[in-house]
Chains A and B, each alone.
Chain A
């Protein structure tokens, strides 16, 4: 048995401890906001927070998450009230939208560590998240805006 606390709710799962967390979230628990893109830690579509740290759930075994706290995009806020969600909506970031659960979860950790990131900081922190549709210019803008909404200065350069 694996015990996962996801978005503050605890689940007892009868899964192979080797199973990547991604599939436990999507297929066993039914939280499909976290996406599969590559399965090999290359694209960031599957990023969730494990005890507040951004991890790639496609390569994180359930075993490692056992009895730990996980936050997924659904746990950030369902009413889009989180500053990153507000900013993403304000800047009309998504195209197909598939990458953005992972983008937002990565950005959340960036802003916690660095409330006023520069473009360079954003590039460094977000280079692990692929967007095939090419929404990168808007991701940058939205992170600056979220920093402002958070009370930061929204360091544009």
Chain B
């Protein structure tokens, strides 16, 4: 292990005196050390002689609750309560490995067993240490609240007093995990330790970093995406009191490199105002002719091409149903922005060959990592010389998986000796991307004489996420990221062909909460509904009929059927719609109930959201995430997308790129299924089912089918 990485690490967790560190090696084996100098593994637990216990959270807290849920997995098995430990957010330190990231709803589903094992191993050696100290048998000792008790004599020793002895025992390879019925924390807790910090202004988000002597900067970037800077004139800018320096700074977003003009000043406000006086010349390379409207027409034309097959089952060409048994439909979704409420920002200080960074990111270990795709190569520093302070994140939604704003801020910081905080205006966040791409879907289904779906085709026409991010992507291959979930649905359909038609695009794109499932689910689960009507079946029964085998998706639908009283009739003008969606992040289903009024307005009476998790850490937090997902999903249905006119984004700020407000939200009921099975994610599965369930409900109530997002809640 390099000297420097250890220094960073120790700086983030200083210990006084003896300490027991326990965690996992990069191969996933349990490991421990008694002195900080030999901590060359990921130490998730630190127990100090003075009794202080620290648990490390490697998953950036973006609002999804990992600041609590991740350490809770350890605490449960270690037998400590969360209010008796210190929780430390890791900062991309080398020791903690390359999974210091929050994305793909993966934090808990990937850590559920490994972190419990870490806690259980520590508990086991602490019990052994106590038994040895007292010269009693282990089975008479138990762990509770940070101490080991000898049951017959009620003697007690705190964990801190046992570390030296505990360190002498080999760690068990497979420590015994607790029986879930004995859980004190998992599945039960609610209070999140970051909440008090977020109600009195003391939570430190990236944008709140205060570094002594800090300057502030904005970057003027080309409004026409794809243009390159030819020249600029900052004469007038430099006359403004408070402006310190003007220079260029490069930002790298996937395969794209953009150079903007940075204005560094003594305050953000001065820098931002100074933009008006900056004169810039750009080579637009013809991108100023780009209009979303034309591009959408282009996608519709491309839909006639034969796609590259992603998955084929049976043979749809051999089905040979009469033409009237087939149904075809075309669905469209827009580009949208992430709009995390905390504007993008990053503070950086360059000092010779070192850089120190304060920011909110979803990918701490990619900022500091040594991997080929990690950030060091983009900023010209060796990974050992990058120090990160990973602060609370005011919303991720996939936008902060990209490190473009960090790269750019480091390049700005290279222009001056002082630390610089680069802040993006809301307009910058709205207009500069990366954006969630649109997907268009061409669907075709065939219904047998018995009313069964026997032939199904889903062709996605879209720009490619992988092509936008990876210069080695082979465009003759399917971009699997754009086909997400389509072939994973549990429906038993004998003949299926899903395919992809790629469209070129010069605009940087990125995942947005639930990635492509946020758009293709709308097409597919709406179309399943259309097929149900074609088969003259109830949409719920039609789905269940195609789920003969037991599956988690079937379980979710049955639960929805029960909770929504699906079989009871609604008054005329009202209707229910259902949708279910399974993808890499997890599984959820929803029933939406609407009323269509005489004045053509539509109200949502209730949303019933079921999520299947296998196991749950904090049920109340899951409900919060689900409510948020439904609201974000409704926002994506009702509010406009991002539109390009003459190469520029036409929207600016929340007045023309609005988000849902408190007066627009429906009643949401959440139900969590935790009857074992695969551990699944929380942050994203609440989103994909919403739009199709809503569209299906509107159809049930009114006979009107919406096939294009966004749409107004109006017939």
Name A's B-contacting residues (CB within 8 A). 15-16, 19-20, 23, 26-28, 30-40, 42-43, 45, 72-74, 76-80, 84-85, 88-89, 92-101, 104, 122-124, 126-127, 129-140
Contacts and interface: CB of A to CB of B under 8 A. Distances in A.
A42 B653 contact: yes
B663 A124 contact: yes
Contacts of A101: 201
6 contacts: A20-B269, A27-B268, A35-B207, A89-B196, A104-B199, A124-B663
Contacts of A135: 624, 627-628
Contact of B395 (A23, A36, A84, A133): A133
A36 B190 CA distance: 29
Contacts of A34: 201
B663 A123 contact: yes
B200 interface: yes
B183 interface: no
A134 B199 contact: no
Nearest to B423: A36
Interface stretch (B28-36, B340-348, B488-496, B586-594): B340-348
B96 interface: no
Contacts of B339: 132
Given A20-B269, A122-B662, A136 B343 contact: no
B87 interface: no
A131 B627 contact: no
Contact of A89 (B191, B270, B629, B631): B191
B333 interface: no
Contacts of A89: 191, 195-196, 199
A1 B610 CA distance: 58
Contacts of B343: 36-37
Contacts, number: 185
Contacts of B663: 123-124, 127
Interface of B: 61-65, 190-192, 194-205, 207-208, 210, 216, 267-270, 272, 339-343, 392-397, 423, 425-426, 620-621, 624-625, 627-632, 635, 653-655, 659-663, 665, 668
Contacts of A74: 200-202
B63 A23 contact: no
A75 B207 CA distance: 20
Interface centre among A34, A38, A104 (most CB of B within 10 A): A38
Contacts of A16: 270
A97 B391 CA distance: 13
Nearest to B397: A132
Contact of A30 (B210, B269, B342): B210
A83 B682 CA distance: 30
A80 B64 contact: no
Top 4 nearest A-B pairs (CB, nearest first) are A33-B201, A97-B198, A96-B63, A134-B631
B18 to A, nearest CB: 34
B194 A19 contact: no
Given A97-B63, A137-B668, 5 more contacts: A77-B200, A92-B192, A97-B198, A127-B663, A132-B341
Contacts of A78: 200, 202
B642 to A, nearest CB: 16
B269 A19 contact: yes
Contact of B659 (A15, A39, A132): A132
Nearest to A130: B659
A74 B208 CA distance: 14
A137 B268 CA distance: 34
B201 A134 contact: no
A92 B662 contact: no
A43 B201 CA distance: 17
A131 B660 CA distance: 8
Contacts of A127: 661-663
A89 B200 CA distance: 11
Chain A binding surface SS class:
loop
A77 B200 CA distance: 7
Contacts of B625: 95
B269 to A, nearest CB: 4
A132 B395 contact: yes
Contacts of A28: 267
A130 B199 contact: no
Contact of B624 (A15, A98, A138, A140): A138
A15 B268 CA distance: 13
Contact of A96 (B200, B395, B620): B395
A45 B269 contact: no
Contacts of A77: 200
A100 B394 CA distance: 11
Given A98-B341, A130-B654, A27 B627 contact: no
A128 B442 CA distance: 40
Contact of B394 (A93, A97, A122, A126): A97
Given A95-B628, A97-B194, A135-B627, A27 B267 contact: yes
A70 to B, nearest CB: 13
B662 A129 contact: yes
A80 B196 contact: yes
A87 B208 CA distance: 25
Contact of A39 (B201, B341, B425): B425
A134 B660 contact: yes
A31 B662 contact: no
A96 B662 contact: no
B260 to A, nearest CB: 19
A97 B201 contact: no
Contacts of B665: 134, 136-137
Contacts of A95: 63-65, 624-625, 628
Contacts of B64: 95
B468 to A, nearest CB: 23
A35 B395 CA distance: 13
A89 B612 CA distance: 27
Contacts of A140: 662
Nearest to A85: B199
A133 B63 contact: yes
Nearest to A138: B624
A136 B426 CA distance: 22
B621 A92 contact: yes
A100 B624 contact: no
Contacts of A131: 341, 662
Contacts of A31: 201
